[in-house]
Copies of this chain bind each other. A is one copy, B any other.
Amino acid sequence: MRRIYLITYDVCDAKRLRQIFKCLRGWGDHLQYSVFECQLTDADLLRCKSEMADILHHGEDQVLVIDLGPAASRSETLVQAIGKPYSAMAAPCFVV
């Protein structure tokens, strides 16, 4: 069973930022500059967290993984947008 996770990150180095972006692009949708939404099984989540842990500097960077519940029972009002519509970003935008 897949659950929805919102993953947000503060990464202090441009190279690691690119690496985290590339890692998460493989797992889900890029919503905002440093925010992804991923639908993951328990095994996926473990692999995703392990990949990120290998990239991060643990004293400087931070990733938050927020459990938004089962993908199958997703509420229409789970995520509300103000301004631009809520959707995956068309053009990935990250520090190069």
Contacts and interface: CB of A to CB of B under 8 A. Distances in A.
B31 A64 contact: yes
B10 A82 contact: no
A36 to B, nearest CB: 11
A25 interface: no
Contact of A83 (B56, B77, B78, B80): B56
Given A79-B65, A82-B49, A32 B9 contact: yes
Given A6-B6, A68-B68, A63 B82 contact: yes
Nearest to A59: B84
Interface of A: 6, 8-10, 31-35, 49, 52-53, 56-68, 75, 77-84, 86
10 contacts: A6-B66, A8-B8, A34-B34, A58-B83, A58-B84, A59-B83, A62-B83, A62-B84, A62-B86, A65-B79
